[in-house]
């Protein structure tokens, strides 16, 4: 009993058990961080006032501890200079950040001395800064502090709390901020979806490189059923802000998703079957779209200078589709918006074109287990791109994206082969 020691008293006496914190063997810090990174955590901002100045720190270790008395906790690093100041504050506020506050989170997590001037906050009745638009505010005081390795366990006595905005919270997962969708990732919390997300995460190095090189957003979209994809991984470069959440459902409904199905006869047919009503002329047009995408090797969405309003409507329809269960009436309306947005998709880029406004470029990652070109269920997408560019610039984007897709294909056939094999076995793609 080296690691577990028990002192047993006489009947009726209390039993005391102590557990050794010494590990059975040495744990590599990188391995520890990687394994723990597979568990998502909520993101909160702990704030206080010191010398009439706001201070705050972003943590992913917040937890409810006790009902009687009401206690919560968070775990700052022992070396944190911010916590050294924060612990002196008379009152604290735990701000539970919302899924759409990633930019607020990044600002307040920075070392910018003016960061509180760049976010919207107010002083609470308890004298601590509370962030506007947060999910909840928990007003508390530091009650106890326990040193635990390289962190403190800071126990706080709760004085008051309230839900401010009943929306989904901000999550931290594998080095990135995101959220979850009740009809997306939350609807598939099982081994099947986990395998899909792991496949998408195989593209992480390429996504980071693309986003940094082109100062845009880069995402890996993975198919999760016959009519939907989800964003399994994303990266943001330059000053681009997160505008989509990990796990949100994205429809595979014409005209959306042509690159995800164009190299699979069965998937292409199911995609065409989503057209309502089944108008032969419309179906023929979309068949030509799929053929064009196969010929050029990419799909592109472009916006005309006078068509911004229509694209905004499409974005709103996608958001509504991804974030909530739709009534039949609303679903028909959302699908109508999808159908009317066909003018943005299925095009090509002429070699002499200039002044192009490109919304996105998408290429497939081909199945490494197939000899011929077949959709793997995974696509890579660039978005939030610079506007008013020429054809040569777009060709450069496409080339870099295709190179990245080839690298990811190699990864799926080698170091990520186990995850991809599991994903293929789930038949989330509905067959090839």
Q: Is the pLDDT of residue 2 over 50?
A: no
- pLDDT of 21 reads 56
Provide the pLDDT confidence category of residue 260 given band limits of 50, 70 and 90: very high
Kindly give the pairing relationship between strand 176-178 and strand 44-50: unpaired
Which position has the token pair 């090797």?
A: 297
pLDDT score at 306: 63
* CA pair distance 208, 380, nearest whole angstrom: 12
Question: How sure is the predictor about 42, in pLDDT bands with cuts at 50, 70 and 90?
Answer: confident
Who wins on pLDDT, 39 or 204?
A: 204
Whether 62 has a pLDDT exceeding 50, the answer reads yes
**pLDDT of amino acid 188:** 41
What integer pLDDT is reported at residue 25 of this predicted model?
A: 67
Q: What is the mean pLDDT of residues 413-429?
A: 88
Mean pLDDT of 392-402: 97
**Between residues 220 and 8, the one the model is more confident about:** 220
φ/ψ of 83, rounded to 5, equals -65, -35
The distance of Cα 111 from the centroid of its chain, to the nearest Å, equals 24
pLDDT level of residue 375 (50, 70, 90 thresholds): very high
Peptide bond into 88 cis (omega under 30): no
Checking if the pLDDT of 278 tops 90, the result is no
Residue 364 pLDDT exceeds 60: yes
Side-chain-side CA neighbours of 181 within 13 Å: the count stands at 23
Closest CA to 175 of 218, 204, 149: 204
Cβ-proximal residues to 316 (8 Å cutoff; 6+ apart), any chain: 337
In this structure, how many other beta carbons lie within 10 angstroms of the beta carbon of residue 237? 18
Give yes or no for residue 431 having a pLDDT over 50: yes
Task: State how far the Cα of 91 lies from the Cα of 80, in Å rounded to an integer.
Answer: 19
**What pLDDT, on the 0 to 100 scale, is given for residue 374?**
95
**Residue 277 preceded by cis peptide, ω within 30:** yes
The candidate with the shortest Cα–Cα distance to 74, out of 66, 85, 88, 64, is: 64
Mean pLDDT of 278-304: 93
* Burial track 126-159 (b if 16+ CB lie within 10 A, e otherwise): bebbbbebbbbbbbbebeeeeeeeebbbbbbebe
Q: Is the pLDDT of residue 234 over 50?
A: yes
On the question of pLDDT at 249 being above 70, the answer is yes
Q: Residue 189, by phi and psi: left (phi above 0), alpha (psi -120 to 50) or beta?
A: beta
158-164 contacts, C-beta under 8 A, 24 or more apart: 158/70, 158/71, 158/72, 159/91, 159/126, 160/125, 160/126, 161/136, 161/137, 162/136, 162/137, 163/135, 163/136, 164/133, 164/134, 164/135, 164/136, 164/137
pLDDT in tens, 73-131: 999 999 999 999 999 999 999 999 998 888 899 889 888 899 999 999 999 999 999 99
In this prediction, residue 88 carries a pLDDT of 95
Cα(319)–Cα(313) distance, integer angstroms = 10
H/E stretch holding 301 reads: strand 299-302
Report residue 248: phi and psi, to 5°. Answer: -70, 145
The rounded distance, in Å, linking the Cα atoms of 88 and 90 is: 6
Cis peptide before 255 (omega within 30 of 0): yes
Across-strand partners of 98?
169
Residue 242 or 352, more confident: 352
Point out the least confidently predicted range of 68-77, 199-208, 230-239.
230-239
Compute the mean pLDDT over every residue in the chain, rounded to the nearest whole number.
86
Q: Look at residues 414, 249, 385 and name the one whose alpha carbon lies nearest to residue 317.
A: 249
Task: Report how far residue 73's alpha carbon sits from residue 426's, in angstroms, rounded to the nearest whole number.
Answer: 39
Q: Is the pLDDT of residue 23 over 70?
A: no
With contact defined as beta carbons under 8 Å apart, do 216 and 385 qualify?
yes
Reported as a pLDDT band with limits 50, 70 and 90, residue 10 is very low
Residue 300: per-residue pLDDT: 96
CB 178 within 8 Å of CB 169:
no
Rounded CA separation 432/397 (Å): 28
Contact 322, 249 (CB under 8 A): yes
Dist. CA 310–CA 313, nearest whole Å: 5
* pLDDT > 90: percent of the chain: 58
pLDDT of residue 430: 65
Which range among 7-16, 333-342, 388-397 has the greatest average pLDDT?
A: 388-397
- What pLDDT, on a 0 to 100 scale, did the predictor assign at position 167? 77
CA 411, CA 373: separation in Å to the nearest integer? 16
pLDDT at 251 over 50: yes
| Position 195 pLDDT exceeds 70 | yes
Per the structure block, which two tokens stand in for 352? 């002499």
H helices within 37-154, ranges in order?
81-86, 102-109
Kindly state the average pLDDT of the residues 19-31: 68
| Dist CA 74 CA 70 (whole Å) | 14
pLDDT higher than 70, residue 340: yes
Residue 175 reports pLDDT greater than 60: yes
* pLDDT level of residue 151 (50, 70, 90 thresholds): very high
pLDDT of residue 324: 63
Estimate to the nearest angstrom the gap between the alpha carbon of 176 and the chain centroid.
7
Q: Backbone phi, then psi, for 193, in 5-degree steps? A: -70, -35
Please compute the mean of the pLDDT values over residues 66-70 and round it to a whole number: 93
Cα–Cα distance measured from residue 178 to residue 232, given in angstroms and rounded to the nearest whole number: 10
Is the Cβ–Cβ distance between 313 and 354 less than 8 Å?
no
Question: What is the C-alpha to C-alpha distance for residues 315 and 5, in angstroms, rounded to an integer?
Answer: 59
């Amino acid at each position: 009993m080296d690691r577990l020691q028990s002192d047993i008293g006489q009947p009726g006496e209390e039993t005391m058990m102590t557990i050794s914190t010494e590990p059975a063997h040495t744990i590599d810090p990188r391995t520890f961080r990687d394994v723990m990174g597979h568990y998502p955590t909520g993101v909160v901002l702990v704030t206080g006032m010191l010398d009439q100045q706001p201070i705050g720190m972003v943590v992913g270790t917040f937890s409810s501890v006790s009902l009687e008395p009401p206690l919560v906790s968070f775990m700052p690093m022992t070396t944190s200079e911010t916590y050294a100041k924060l612990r002196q504050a008379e009152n604290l506020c735990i701000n539970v950040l919302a899924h759409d506050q990633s930019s607020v989170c990044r600002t307040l997590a920075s070392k910018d001395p003016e960061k509180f001037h760049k976010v919207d906050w107010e002083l609470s009745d308890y004298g601590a800064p509370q962030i506007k638009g947060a999910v909840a505010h928990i007003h508390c005081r530091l009650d106890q502090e326990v040193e635990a390795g390289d962190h403190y366990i800071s126990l706080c006595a709760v004085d008051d709390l309230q839900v401010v905005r009943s929306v989904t919270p901000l999550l931290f997962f594998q080095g990135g901020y995101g959220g979850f969708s009740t009809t997306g990732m939350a609807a598939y919390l099982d081994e099947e979806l986990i395998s899909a997300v792991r496949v998408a995460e195989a593209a992480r190095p390429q996504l980071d490189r693309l986003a940094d090189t082109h100062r845009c957003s880069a995402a890996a979209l993975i198919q999760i059923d016959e009519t939907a994809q989800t964003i399994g991984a994303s990266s943001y470069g330059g000053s681009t802000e997160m505008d989509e959440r990990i796990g949100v459902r994205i429809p595979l409904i014409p005209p959306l998703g042509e690159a995800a199905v164009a190299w699979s006869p069965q998937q292409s047919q199911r995609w065409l079957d989503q057209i309502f009503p089944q108008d032969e002329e419309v179906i023929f047009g979309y068949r030509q779209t799929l053929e064009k995408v196969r010929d050029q090797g990419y799909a592109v969405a472009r916006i005309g200078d006078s068509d911004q309003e229509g694209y905004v409507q499409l974005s709103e329809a996608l958001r509504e589709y991804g974030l909530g269960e739709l009534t039949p009436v609303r679903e028909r309306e959302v699908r109508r918006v999808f159908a009317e947005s066909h003018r943005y998709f299925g095009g090509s880029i002429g070699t002499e074109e200039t002044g192009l406004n490109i919304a996105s470029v998408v290429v497939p990652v081909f199945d490494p287990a197939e000899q011929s070109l077949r959709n793997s269920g995974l696509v890579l997408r660039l978005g939030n791109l610079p506007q008013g560019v020429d054809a040569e610039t777009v060709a450069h984007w496409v080339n870099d994206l295709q190179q990245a897709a080839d690298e990811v294909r190699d990864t799926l056939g080698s170091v990520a082969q186990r995850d991809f094999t599991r994903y293929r076995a789930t038949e989330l793609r509905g067959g090839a």
